[in-house]
Amino acid sequence: MSIEVLPPSANDPKLARIRTLLEDDPKLVEKVETVEPKWACPIFKAEKWEVMQPNGEPGERDIVLHNGGAGVCVVRDGKMCLVRQYRVALGRMTLEIPAGKIDPNEDPAVCAARELTEETGLVAQSLVPIAISRSAPGFTNEATRVFYAQGVSQHPASPDPDEFVDVVWVDVDEVLAAVRAGIIQDAKTVISALFVASLG
Amino acid sequence: MSIEVLPPSANDPKLARIRTLLEDDPKLVEKVETVEPKWACPIFKAEKWEVMQPNGEPGERDIVLHNGGAGVCVVRDGKMCLVRQYRVALGRMTLEIPAGKIDPNEDPAVCAARELTEETGLVAQSLVPIAISRSAPGFTNEATRVFYAQGVSQHPASPDPDEFVDVVWVDVDEVLAAVRAGIIQDAKTVISALFVASLG
């Protein structure tokens, strides 16, 4: 089974109303007055921002700034390529599409292709954008770009020496059942599974 | 148009292999040795964890701990209920399904129902779990529970006085086009739109 996924169209007339709804609205916009750095580490920066709310009242916002990531949905013969790994922040194993952090100024598609090949040895002829996933816009700018791989071939993997991962192929139907049951939880993987299901 | 969405089955035989793949694997598990608090604010805690990696080498992990949230996908007559708001962490307006932060020890479905009614005045007869969205498991335990509302009726809204939001109804087709184009980015909203699309 191979599905051709078309790139999104930036000129789709369906986008007109949404673009209007996303224009800055003075009744809703808040302005950043001061930024107080709280902690910076290699992965993110935590800051407290003083803001002016739309009603003229001051407010405080606790923010995590992150450079974002990119992941790739690969489906072959009805199976999705997933990486089995331990996530210490969750205290448990997860199943996630191949993905990684974007280096500063790196093109998201280049990052996605690099991570895919490092972790799995897979090389894609093309990576079509599925969606951008802003994980929790209430407190962080973190965004993961999700791509769909087409024309995939297998080459040797070359995982980072400090990356402990195991590649598995799982039936899309099983992934979808696990998403519905809340057992597969990773946002980029949930999005990938539902995207494939939406193709019918 | 009204679609009936069935609750997920915890006993689905499709889940058996996934459950096995998600069991702790000593080759992949890392152990937390020490926790160093870095910054605590009302929304999250940032910490540096020293870990023992599966190969016996020490490592450092930068972690954001967050209590999580809950959101509700409401579709009536082919339109999705979205909240238009400004997200200062992104520096822009967003369109998101109604949602909010879970209070300590609060049931996610109770939180979802509360936020739905506060923000939009909508009351649902039932909330069916769609998915749990772990936003970025590489550095945070943040999870948003996403529900699908059934049997929805309109009542007066009662937004928090410090919440500046505007409720709009947008064609599901428009939301999906905006997801594919990367214009609607919020993870719980992307998941909701793709879930509705996957229903066919």
Best A179, A189, A192, A196 residue to mutate vs chain B (most B CBs within 10 Å) = A179
Nearest CB to A187 within list B61, B134, B168: B134
Strands B122-134 and B99-101: unpaired
**A43 within 8 A of A69, measured Cβ to Cβ:** no
Sign of CA dihedral A28, B89, B190, A109: positive
A residues 89..118 contacting B (CB < 8 A):
89-90, 92-96, 101
**A144 within 8 A of A135, measured Cβ to Cβ:** yes
Strand extents, DSSP E, B54-162: 58-66, 69-73, 75-76, 79-87, 92-96, 99-101, 122-134, 143-154
Residue B109 tokens read as: 């479905």
How many angstroms separate the Cα of B177 from the Cα of each of A15, A61, A131, A142, B184?
7, 31, 10, 22, 9
Check if B6 contacts A (Cβ < 8 Å): no
Residue A18 tokens read as: 């949404």
Amino acid found at A157: A
Assign B1 a pLDDT band (cuts: 50, 70, 90).
very low
The answer to ipTM > 0.85 is yes
Per-residue pLDDT of chain A (200 residues; tens, 9 = 90+): 456 888 888 788 999 999 999 999 999 999 999 999 999 999 999 999 999 999 999 999 999 999 999 999 999 999 999 999 999 999 999 999 999 999 999 999 999 999 999 999 999 999 999 999 998 999 999 999 999 999 999 998 877 777 788 999 999 999 999 999 999 999 999 999 999 999 98
Residue B78 tokens read as: 């082919």
Fold of B69-198: Nucleoside Triphosphate Pyrophosphohydrolase (3.90.79)
Q: How many CA atoms does the CB half-sphere of A170 hold within 13 Å? A: 30
CA nearest to B139 within chain A: A89
pLDDT digits (tens, 9 = 90+) for B102-147: 999 999 999 999 999 999 999 999 999 999 999 899 999 999 999 9
pLDDT at position A200 is: 82
Check if B30 contacts A (Cβ < 8 Å): yes
CA-closest candidate to residue B13, choices A82, A168, A174: A174
pTM for the structure as a whole: 0.96
Q: Distance (Å, rounded) from C-alpha A173 to C-alpha A74?
A: 14
Edge-to-edge strand ranges of the sheet holding A58-66: A31-40, A44-52, A58-66
Best B38, B43, B163, B169 residue to mutate vs chain A (most A CBs within 10 Å) = B43
Measured between CA atoms, how close is B193 to chain A, in angstroms? 9
pLDDT digits (tens, 9 = 90+) for B25-52: 999 999 999 999 999 999 999 999 999 9
Give the residue-averaged pLDDT of B48-72: 97
Domain parsing of chain B, residue ranges: 7-66, 69-198
Check if A130 contacts B (Cβ < 8 Å): yes
pLDDT at position B2 is: 57
DSSP string, B11-58: T-GGGHHHHHHTS--TTT--EEEEEEEEEE-SSEEEEEEEEE-TTS-E
Measured between CA atoms, how close is A151 to chain B, in angstroms? 20
CA-closest candidate to residue B191, choices B137, B142, B130: B130
